[in-house]
A and B are shown apart, each in its own frame.
Chain A
Amino acid sequence: MNKYIEIVDDNIKTDLEYYLNNQELIFNIDNNYNIDVYLKNISYSLIMNFSESINVNITNNIDENNNKIVVNYTIEDNSVINEFFLINNDGLDIEYYKNISIKNNASYECSCALFNENNIDYNIDISLINDNAKAIHNVATIASHNKKYFNVKINNIACNTIGLLNNFGVVKNNGELIFNGIGDIKNGAKNAKAHQESKIITFDENVIAQANPYLIIDEADVEASHAAAVGQMDEEQLYYLQTRGISNNDASLLITYGYLKPILKNINNEELKHKLEKIIEDKVLI
């Protein structure tokens, strides 16, 4: 069933039940919904509590004029939450803070497609607090004429928990892109898995690009890995495409497109997958 939450200048329109507690806007979600969230100039913190054994897809559209957004989710046992995060317009700088708690056998998957022109400081802290909880966080982004910082942290607190991070980015035109990926496995989180991969392509020399993986492990019985790479566009690939008649500019666009596209393989929800594919196509292959 489709639902929506639209908050513009703190005016709330929604077909979901909610209540206000000080500056917190609280939703208790207890059914299988597809929820479209549209936020523009909001000063509330958005709290979503997902009840047990539900399946929810959230599409987040953040519009200009937000400068700070705070979001907290609690995901109860056996629920599956898929989220898609998108910033539409090129307005003010955005600071985004999100805390997620995931309980027994529940899973959370989030894919961010951030190709907007503004600066962004994106922070997410995901806690896998009970056994078999799982989280996947994907980012595909282009920093061009702006600064984009991503701090993505997954805490494996319980046994058999899985945390996966995938960050793919392109930096050009004096842009700045920093991926900090943090996997924190607590003592007692037996058989926990923490894997992360960060890749950045730089288009020109006047850019800042960092992919920093951190793994903090306080348990012996775990599986963890990280791969981080920052590099220039592959000259041989450019040449190869050009030998077939494709111009230098079109060849770099095709390679960029191809570079960001592997993010799609991490997305399980087909509808969201197509949506993201379309966005990458529109933003890259102009």
Chain B
Amino acid sequence: MSTLKIDNLYVSVEDKLILKGINLVVNTGEVHALMGPNGNGKSTLLSAIMGHPKYRIEKGSIFLDNIDILALSVDERSKAGLFLGMQYPTEVSGVTNADFLRAALNSHLEKPISLFKFIKQLDKEVEKLKMKPDLAHRYLNEGFSGGEKKRNEMLHMNLLKPKFALLDEIDSGLDVDALQIVSDTINEMRSEHFGAIIVSHYERLFDLVKPTHVHILVDGKIVKSGNQELVTKIDTEGYEWIKEELDIDIINESI
């Protein structure tokens, strides 16, 4: 079993403090749903864990087992077993999916994968995700529809087999069929060797990918944790009740 432990994390972006003391422990075998109103720090948390250069760690620590994640570069974090599925995957013109994925896969392996084995593996995953067969030869995310981009993120996750996946609104912009495919992919990954933090606004994703834990993030802090009932309550009632229950004045004082 592996553990991702975030301790008293403070993060700022362009001198604005966004995360104000996040404490979160995720074990492999668990799926943590992270919910909360827009602009309260959910994506910031995932980006900070992955190491986006724009996000500055002011205080706190992140450990993957005994590895100090904050001491690692972005690529080293990936190799340590972290994966970030992005809300808006970047387009990279001129670099084909196949070239990119092979470079990515090889960076995780001690011995490079043979071309034949790589193509076989890629073809299998592409078919499973019901992606267009010419995907390997297309430039990375260029001209992809929103749904294709998200499925491509799932393809990366499948090939890289991380210990922990951080999935940022992986369900946004997906039609019903694509949502099913993405959910199936995450569910197939679920095991005692895989954990996830999933950011989403919608119950429909968490109906398909049942979280073991649910957290609400407001104003840079996890203000409430619970189980799936919390998802249903938010879906029907929104976030206002949380603000009332927790007394919004207290949150304002801490700014």
Total interface residues on B, CB under 8 Å, equals: 28
Tell me the bound Cα distance from A258 to B139 in angstroms. 9
Per-position binary interface string of chain A over residues 22-40, scored 1 when its CB falls under 8 Å from any chain B CB and 0 otherwise: 0000000000000000000
Q: Are B95 and A257 in contact, with the CB atoms below 8 A? A: yes
Q: Are B95 and A245 in contact, with the CB atoms below 8 A? A: no
Q: Are B92 and A237 in contact, with the CB atoms below 8 A? A: yes
Q: Are B99 and A239 in contact, with the CB atoms below 8 A? A: no
- The verdict on A214 contacting chain B, using a C-beta distance below 8 Å, is no
Q: Are A258 and B74 in contact, with the CB atoms below 8 A? A: no
- The verdict on B133 contacting chain A, using a C-beta distance below 8 Å, is no
Q: Are B75 and A247 in contact, with the CB atoms below 8 A? A: yes
With both beta carbons as reference points, the residue of chain B lying nearest to A280 in the complex is identified as B94
Interface residues of B in 107-129 (CB under 8 A from A): 107-108
Per-position binary interface string of chain A over residues 222-262, scored 1 when its CB falls under 8 Å from any chain B CB and 0 otherwise: 00000000000011110111111111101100110111111
Tell me the bound Cα distance from A244 to B95 in angstroms. 14
Please give the distance in Å from B198's CB to the nearest CB on chain A: 17
Q: Are A240 and B86 in contact, with the CB atoms below 8 A? A: yes
Partner of A258, one of B50, B94, B160: B94
Please give the distance in Å from A244's CB to the nearest CB on chain B: 4
Chain A residues near B160 (CB, 8 Å)?
244-245
Q: Are B94 and A259 in contact, with the CB atoms below 8 A? A: yes
Interface residues of B in 83-107 (CB under 8 A from A): 83-84, 86, 89-90, 92-95, 99-100, 103-104, 107
Chain A residues near B100 (CB, 8 Å)?
241, 244, 246, 254
Tell me the bound Cα distance from A234 to B92 in angstroms. 9
Tell me the bound Cα distance from A251 to B90 in angstroms. 13
Q: Are B95 and A258 in contact, with the CB atoms below 8 A? A: yes
Tell me the bound Cα distance from A251 to B78 in angstroms. 14
Interface residues of B in 201-216 (CB under 8 A from A): none
Partner of B92, one of A250, A258, A262: A258
Tell me the bound Cα distance from A88 to B200 in angstroms. 55
With both beta carbons as reference points, the residue of chain A lying nearest to B88 in the complex is identified as A236
Partner of A239, one of B74, B94, B139: B74
Q: How large is the interface on A (under 10, 10 to 19, 20 to 34, 35 or more residues)?
A: 20 to 34
Tell me the bound Cα distance from A260 to B93 in angstroms. 10
Q: Are B94 and A261 in contact, with the CB atoms below 8 A? A: yes
With both beta carbons as reference points, the residue of chain B lying nearest to A244 in the complex is identified as B104
Q: Are A240 and B78 in contact, with the CB atoms below 8 A? A: no
Q: Are A245 and B94 in contact, with the CB atoms below 8 A? A: no
With both beta carbons as reference points, the residue of chain A lying nearest to B104 in the complex is identified as A244
Chain B residues near A235 (CB, 8 Å)?
53
The interface centre, meaning the residue of B73, B75, B140 with most chain A CB atoms within 10 A of its CB, is B75
Q: Are A247 and B107 in contact, with the CB atoms below 8 A? A: yes
Chain A residues near B75 (CB, 8 Å)?
242-248, 251
Q: Are A255 and B92 in contact, with the CB atoms below 8 A? A: yes
Chain B residues near A257 (CB, 8 Å)?
94-95, 99
- The verdict on B156 contacting chain A, using a C-beta distance below 8 Å, is yes
Please give the distance in Å from B189's CB to the nearest CB on chain A: 16
Tell me the bound Cα distance from A241 to B95 in angstroms. 11
Chain B residues near A236 (CB, 8 Å)?
90
Partner of B93, one of A239, A251, A262: A262
Q: Are A248 and B92 in contact, with the CB atoms below 8 A? A: no
Tell me the bound Cα distance from A234 to B50 in angstroms. 18
Chain A residues near B93 (CB, 8 Å)?
258-259, 262
Chain B residues near A248 (CB, 8 Å)?
73, 75
Chain A residues near B89 (CB, 8 Å)?
240
Q: Are A243 and B74 in contact, with the CB atoms below 8 A? A: yes
Q: If A240-B89, A240-B90 touch, does A254 touch B107 (CB 8 Å cutoff)?
A: no
Q: Are B90 and A245 in contact, with the CB atoms below 8 A? A: no
Partner of B94, one of A242, A243, A244, A260: A260
Tell me the bound Cα distance from A250 to B156 in angstroms. 18
Chain A residues near B95 (CB, 8 Å)?
254-255, 257-258
Please give the distance in Å from B79's CB to the nearest CB on chain A: 5
Q: Are B94 and A241 in contact, with the CB atoms below 8 A? A: no
Tell me the bound Cα distance from A250 to B106 in angstroms. 12
Q: Which 4 pairs between the two chains have the least Cβ-Cβ distance?
A: A258-B94, A258-B95, A245-B78, A244-B104
* Seed contacts A237-B92, A243-B78, A255-B94; 16 additional CB < 8 Å A-B pairs: A235-B53, A239-B52, A241-B103, A243-B75, A244-B104, A246-B107, A247-B73, A247-B75, A250-B107, A254-B92, A254-B95, A255-B95, A258-B92, A259-B94, A261-B94, A262-B94
A/B interface sample: 21 pairs, CB < 8 A? A236-B90, A240-B92, A241-B100, A241-B103, A242-B73, A242-B75, A244-B78, A244-B100, A244-B107, A244-B156, A245-B104, A245-B108, A247-B107, A250-B103, A250-B107, A257-B99, A258-B93, A258-B95, A259-B93, A260-B94, A262-B94
Please report B residues at the A interface, Cβ cutoff 8 Å.
Answer: 50, 52-53, 73-75, 77-79, 83-84, 86, 89-90, 92-95, 99-100, 103-104, 107-108, 139-140, 156, 160
